[in-house]
Amino acid sequence: MSKNKQLPNINKRTSIAKSLLFSIEQLELTFSNGAERVYERMEGSGRGSVMIVSLTKDNGLLLVKEYCAGTHSYELGFPKGLIDPGETAIEAANRELKEEVGFGAKQLIPLHTVAMAPAFFGGTMEIFIAKDLYPQTLPGDEPEPMELIHWPVDDYVDLLAREDFNEARSIAALMLLVDKLRNGG
């Protein structure tokens, strides 16, 4: 933030809706120039979430195809999920990997933390690279088994061209990984 910018004052917070996943809060704000506005934002659980980009020994990626209610379609992407209470992000990443892909990782390397939609949602997602994979499964909370797709990293351009690989977080994770690998990471 530039030195001349000051965060607005929150004059009033009102919860206006609540679901199992989040609540919607209305904020009455006063900005440093005197302007007053009402904003609405979603409040998540506050625990955060994780996404895992798994690298296999043959330099492949492990993706899952799962049902997405928002688009009412099956989408291809990297395994992901919420951080459970009392769990660290790394523990959540390894748990989600075991639940969704059937592998654990001996190495989980932080890649980047992304904001989901900072204009109206405070949630963040920590993206990890998983290496040194070993077979291990945990029961997950998915209503049906996910389809596991193995994809060569070198063919990432073809992955980007797929109609079912369009989730912004998975695309960002893929491009962050490709950049890291190009730069010797």
pLDDT of residue 103: 96
Asked if 54 contacts 101 with a C-beta cutoff of 8 angstroms, the reply is yes
Determine the Cα–Cα distance for residues 76 and 170; give it in Å rounded to an integer.
9
Q: Compute the Cα dihedral for 31, 36, 37, 41 and give only its sign.
A: positive
pLDDT per residue over 125-181, tens digit each?
A: 999 999 999 999 999 888 888 899 999 999 999 999 999 999 999 999 999 999 999
Return the pLDDT at 89: 97
pLDDT band at residue 85 using 50, 70 and 90 as cut-offs: very high
Under 8 Å between Cβ of 103 and 62: yes
- Name residues whose C-beta falls within 8 Å of residue 120's C-beta, 6 or more positions apart in sequence: 39, 40, 41, 42
**How high is the pLDDT of residue 120?**
80
Q: How many whole angstroms separate alpha carbon 109 and alpha carbon 131?
A: 8
Tell me the average pLDDT across 95-103.
96
How far is the C-alpha of 18 from the C-alpha of 173, rounded, in Å?
A: 30
Domains, the chain, in order of start with CATH, read: 9-43 (no CATH), 49-182 (3.90.79.10)
Provide the mean pLDDT of the chain: 91
